[in-house]
Chains A and B, each alone.
Chain A
Amino acid sequence: MCSSPAAQCKAVTMDVLIREFVDEACSLLDEVEAALSLRAPLRQEMTPIIHRALHTIKGNAGLLSLADVATAAHEAETAFDAIQANSAALETFDVAVLRLRSTILSLANPEAEPSTRSSVGASVRVGSERLDQIHRDAFELILWRNRFAETLKQHSDQQWREPLQQLTRVVNDLQSNVSAAMLRKLDHTWSTLPRMMREAAALHGIRVEMECIGGDTEVDRATADIIVDCVVHLARNCVAHGIEAADERLSKGKPVDGQIKLCAWQTDTHTLVSVGDDGRGLAQPVQQAFEPGCSTAVGVSELAGRGEGLSIVKRLIERAGGTVGIESARGAGTLVTLRIPHSANVVECLLIAVGDQRFAVPYRQLTEIVPSSNSDTNPRLKHLPIVDLRERLAAKGGRQCVPKIAICDAAGVAVKFDDVLHSDKLVVLPTPKPLAGISHIGGVAMLGDGMPVIVLHVPGLVKGHDLPLSCEAANAVQDNASGLRRWPLLASEKKALPLSGAEHGRNVVLLCDPHDQLDVLLRPVVEATGLQLETCVQKIPPDFTAYLAVILDLQDQSDGWLELVKARLGACQGAPTVIAVAGQPDAAIRRVARWLGVSSLINAFDRRRLLNLLTQSSVDGMAA
C-alpha cells in the first residue's frame, strides 16, 4: 500500500528527529556517566549536570511521544534523587542509566537508513564543527572585505573597484549560503509540542490549547537545541502549575481551555522566545521561581514537581550569554521570555557620526532620516520624543554640519546625530559581558579600518528603557507577518500621491544598485507611491525606455559601469526620469551626475525628495 507524499514526508521528518534525539541523548548520558566516574566530593559538584541531562532527555522524549524513554528517564531521575537522599546505593542509579541507554539505543534502526538516504537525495552529512568553522571563516572574510574596501577608499585606486565589487558579491553570496546551511526553522523542532501538551493536560485532568507563532524563525542548530529544551520545560510548567482545572477557570470567568502561547521572533542581535499562559500566575515571588528545588507541585510526576525546570532554563540560557525574564500576575497568567544573543550576525547598518565617534544603526530600526533644519515641518516628529545622541552618549568634538534626525517608528523615538557616514554590512557580535547591562548597546562590530564600533539598540536609548517585552513581541510578530518592515505613509502624503502608475502602462521604476545596498532603503518609498521597483545589481537592462524612472546609485562606482549607464541613457533620449542618489553627494559625485546628464541628485536617505520626484514623474507619465 502506498502512503501519501505528505505522510512519507512526515515519516522522514520523524526519522530525522528521532535520530537527532538518539545522538543528543547518548551524548548527555556520556556526560552523566563521566560525572558518575568521579570521586564522591567532585561528583557532588556535577549534580546539576546530571539533573539537567536526565530532565532534558525526559522532556525531549515526551515531545517525540517516546513513552518508554520518558518513563526510563523518570525512573533514572527518581534513582538519582534517592542517592542524593542517601536512601539508595549508587549501583541502583547505574542500572537505571543503563536501562535508559538501552531503551534509547533500541530506537536507532539501521535498516531504515538506506530508504532515508535515498529520499534525502543529494544531501551530504557534514560535521557540525566543520560547518561552524566554515561559518566563522565566512564572517572573517566579510571583515577582511570591509578592511580591503576601506584601504582602497583611502588610496582612491580606480583599477581595484570592479574586482572589489565582484569580491563583495561573492562574499555576500557565500555568507548567505553558509548561513542558510546553518539555520533551522523552529517549527521543525516544536511542531509536535501542541499535541504533547494536550496529552499531558489530559493526564492532569485539564484542557489546553497551544498556539505557536513565529515557527519560521531561523536559528542555528545549537540555539535551536537550547530553545527546544527550554520551551519543553516551560510548556510543561504551564500545564503542571499554571493552567487551572475547568471548574476553577469557569468560576473565574475564563474559557474552559487553558491558553498557552509560544512566540518566537528576532531582532538584529537577539532571538527572543516567549512562553505564556492564562493560568493562575506564580504563587511565589518571581525572583524565587528560578531557584533549584522551587516547585508548587504537590507531588513528583513525569511532568513536573522536582523544581528543576526553571532553574535548568536559566542555566541553559545564561550559558548561551542570554537572559530570562518573567512576568506574572496572580489569576492572570505567567509570561517567560528568553533572550538569546546571536553568536554572530551579518546586519546591514548605517554608520553615523556623533561628535568624534562613530556608531552603527541597523537599517531595520530606521524609518526615515531628515535634516534637523526640516524638523519643524515634518509632522511625524511632532509626535516623537527626540533623543540627542551627543548628549545621551556623552560625545564631544566632531564635524560642524547640520545635524540629522533619524525617525525610528518601531522604537517610538527619533534620534538626533551629527552626520551620515556610509552604509556597510557588518558582522555584529554579542555585547562584551562587562557592557551587557547597557540598554542602548545591541552588539559590537569591527569596521573596515580595524576599529571597533558600537551597534546601537535604538529602543534602549529611551530613558527608563525598554518597551515591555510583550509589546516588543507584538511589534515583531507584526513585522514577521509583513516580511520586510514598510515605511507607513502619513495621511497628508497619501493625499499628495497621484493615481497608480499602472493606469498609464509604465509603472516600474528601475534601481541600478551595483553594491546591492539601497534596495532595502528605497523599495518602501517606491512601493508606497503605487509603483513597482526592479533592482539590477549586476546586469544593466539593455533598454531604459520601458521604465517610468531610473534611480542610479552613484556612490563609489567604477568607470566602466558609469560608461555603460551613460550609453544606455543616451540610447533612450531622456525618456525616463533619472534620479541619481548617493550616500555622500560630494563635489566628485556632482561632477559625475553632470557628466551623465542627470537632472536630480539627492541624498540616498532623503526620502521626502525621492517621494516628490517619483510623484512628479508619475504625473508627467500620465500627461504623456
Chain B
Amino acid sequence: MVALDPLKSMNVRIGAETFALPLSMVVDVHDVGKIVPVAGAPISVRGLSSHRGRVTCLVSLADLLRVRSNPDALPMAVSVRWKNDLIALEVDAVEGIAEASHTLDINSILNSTFSQSGDHS
C-alpha cells in the first residue's frame, strides 16, 4: 500500500477561515502597497500593483472563493505563478508554511474565473 506524502502548503487567513495554498505555486509574500484601480476589470480584481520591478494584477482571494474577508485586517499579497504570469492574491493574513492533505486548486479557480467575461463589473 502506498501512503500519500503530505503536501507543503502556505496557510492564509481570510475572515475567520484558513486556506492552504500549494507552496509549489507561491513565488513571494509581500505588502499590498499602492494599487492602481482598473475600470472595467472583473469584480475580484483590486487593480495593478508593482513589486520588485514587476507589474502584477492584485486579485482578492476572498472574492474568488466567495467568502467574507475581515475589513479591519491589514491585507497581505501572496504572489503565485499562473499561466507564465504572476498574480498577487490579496489575503487578510499569512499564517505560515504547513503540511496539508489537501490544498486549494488555485489553477482551476483562476482558470474558471478569468476565462469567463461574466465576472466583469
- A interface vs B, CB < 8 Å? 140, 143, 321, 357, 392-395, 429, 432-438, 440-441, 444-446, 450-454
Contacts and interface: CB of A to CB of B under 8 A. Distances in A.
Interface string B93-121: 00000000000000000100110010010
Contacts of B57: 432-435
Contacts of B82: 433
Given A434-B59, A434-B87, A437-B117, A452 B41 contact: no
B55 A440 contact: no
A432 B36 contact: no
B50 A451 contact: yes
B38 A438 contact: yes
A324 to B, nearest CB: 15
Nearest to B50: A452
Nearest to A393: B39
Interface in B6-46: 34, 36-42, 44-45
A446 B45 contact: no
A445 B114 contact: no
A452 B48 contact: yes
Q: By DSSP majority rule, is chain A's interface helix, strand, loop, or mixed?
A: mixed
A435 B45 contact: yes
Contacts, number: 64
B71 interface: no
A433 B83 contact: yes
A143 B53 CA distance: 8
A493 B15 CA distance: 64
B5 interface: no
B56 A440 contact: no
B85 interface: yes
Interface residues of B, number: 28
Contacts of A438: 38, 40-41
A453 B36 contact: yes
Q: Which of A392, A435, A445 has the most CB of B within 10 A?
A: A435
B31 to A, nearest CB: 13
B55 A452 contact: yes
Nearest to B111: A433
A450 B50 contact: yes
B11 to A, nearest CB: 24
A445 B37 CA distance: 14
A498 B15 CA distance: 72
A432 B85 contact: yes
Contacts of B38: 435, 438, 441, 454
A567 B108 CA distance: 68
B49 interface: yes
Contacts of B83: 433
Contacts of A432: 48, 55-57, 85, 87
